[in-house]
Structure 1
Amino acid sequence: MKIPEVNYIPLWLNIIKIANDPLNHLDAIAKQYGDIFIIKFGSTPIVFLSNPQAIKQIFTNTKEINSPGELNEEMALITGNQGLLQLDGLRHKHRRKLIMPAFHGIKMQAQGKLICDLTKKVMDQHLGRKTFIAYPTIEEITLQVSMEVVLGLREGERYEKLKHLLPNILKSMRSPIMQITSIFPFLQRDLGRWSPWGYLMHLRQEIFQLLYAEVQERRQQADTSRTDILSELIFARDEMGELMTDEEVRDLLLSPLFAAQDASGVAITWLLYWVHHLPQVREQLLQELASLGDSPDPMSIAQLPYLSAVCNEALRIYPTQLFTFPRRVESPTELMGYALSPGTLLMGCIYLTHQRQDLYSQPKQFQPERFLEKQYSPYEFFPFGGGARTCIGAALAVFEMKLLLATILSNYQLTLVKKQPEQPKFEGLMCYPASGVKMRISAKTPRPSAETSAPLCV
Structure 2
Amino acid sequence: MVTISENRQAQPIKNLPDGPKVSRFIQTIRAIFQPFKYLEKYAQEYGDFYTSKFAGFPTQVVISNPQAIQEIFTADSKTFNSAKGNEVVRPLLGDYSLTLHDGNYHQQQRKLLLPSFHGERMKAYGNTICELTEQVINQWQVGQLFSAREAMQQISLRVILRSIFGLDEGERYYQLRELMGTLIETIGSPLRSTFILLPLLQKDLGAWSPWGQFIRQKQQINELLNAEIRERKAANDFSGEDILTLMMLAKDEAGQPMTEAELRDELMTLLFAGHETTATALAWALYWIHHLPEVKEKLLNELNSLGENPDLMAITKLPYLNAVCCETLRIYPVVLFSFPRIVQAPIKIMDYEFQPGTILAPCIYLVHHREDLYPQSKQFKPERFLERQFSPYEFFPFGGGNRRCIGMAFAMFEMKLVLATILRRTELKLAENRPVLPARRGITMAPAGGVKMVVTKV
* Structures share fold, TM-score greater than 0.5: yes
Alignment-derived partner of residue 13 in structure 1: 26
- Is residue 108–residue 396 contact of structure 1 (8 Å, CA) maintained in 2? yes
Alignment-derived partner of residue 36 in structure 1: 49
Give distance in 1, aligned partners of 2:334 and 2:104.
28
Alignment-derived partner of residue 289 in structure 1: 303
Q: Give the Å deviation of 1:241.
A: 1.9
Alignment-derived partner of residue 345 in structure 1: 359
Alignment-derived partner of residue 448 in structure 1: none
Give distance in 1, aligned partners of 2:141 and 2:283.
18
Are 2:215 and 1:201 aligned? yes
Rate the CA distance shift 1:196–1:275 in 2: closer, same or farther, 3 A: same
Alignment-derived partner of residue 161 in structure 2: 147
- With normalisation by structure 1, the TM-score equals 0.93
Q: Give the Å deviation of 1:330.
A: 1.2
Alignment-derived partner of residue 5 in structure 2: none
SS of the aligned residue for 1:392 comes to: coil
| 1:328-339 matches, cutoff 5 A | 328-339=342-353
| 1:314-325 matches, cutoff 5 A | 314-325=328-339
Are 2:423 and 1:423 aligned? no
- Is residue 264–residue 397 contact of structure 1 (8 Å, CA) maintained in 2? yes
Q: Give the Å deviation of 1:89.
A: 1.1
Matching residue within 82, 88, 108 for 1:68? 82
Alignment-derived partner of residue 450 in structure 1: none
Matching residue within 437, 449, 456 for 1:435? 449
SS of the aligned residue for 2:440 comes to: strand
Rate the CA distance shift 1:116–1:371 in 2: closer, same or farther, 3 A: same
CA deviations on 1:280-327 (whole Å, 9 max, x unpaired) are 000001110111011102111000001101110111111111101110
Are 2:149 and 1:135 aligned? yes
Identity %: 45
- Is residue 102–residue 149 contact of structure 1 (8 Å, CA) maintained in 2? no
- Is residue 64–residue 333 contact of structure 1 (8 Å, CA) maintained in 2? no
Are 2:319 and 1:305 aligned? yes
Amino acid at match of 1:105: G
SS of the aligned residue for 1:132 comes to: strand
Q: For structure 1, which segment, 269-278 or 149-158, has the greater mean C-alpha deviation from structure 2 after superposition? A: 149-158
Give distance in 1, aligned partners of 2:433 and 2:143.
20
Q: Give the Å deviation of 1:278.
A: 0.3
Are 2:193 and 1:179 aligned? yes
- Is residue 190–residue 439 contact of structure 2 (8 Å, CA) maintained in 1? no
Are 2:140 and 1:126 aligned? yes
Q: Give the Å deviation of 1:176.
A: 4.7
Q: Give the Å deviation of 1:63.
A: 5.0
- Is residue 178–residue 197 contact of structure 1 (8 Å, CA) maintained in 2? no
SS of the aligned residue for 1:431 comes to: strand
- Is residue 112–residue 251 contact of structure 2 (8 Å, CA) maintained in 1? no
Give distance in 2, aligned partners of 1:184 and 1:431.
17
CA deviations on 1:181-233 (whole Å, 9 max, x unpaired) are 34653432223212211111110110000000100101122223211121012
Alignment-derived partner of residue 404 in structure 1: 418
Are 2:271 and 1:257 aligned? yes
- Is residue 320–residue 386 contact of structure 2 (8 Å, CA) maintained in 1? yes
- Is residue 19–residue 425 contact of structure 1 (8 Å, CA) maintained in 2? no
Rate the CA distance shift 1:133–1:289 in 2: closer, same or farther, 3 A: same
Stretches of structure 1 lacking an aligned partner (at least 5 in a row): 445-458
Matching residue within 173, 184, 187 for 1:170? 184
Give distance in 2, aligned partners of 1:297 and 1:24.
43
- Is residue 157–residue 275 contact of structure 2 (8 Å, CA) maintained in 1? yes
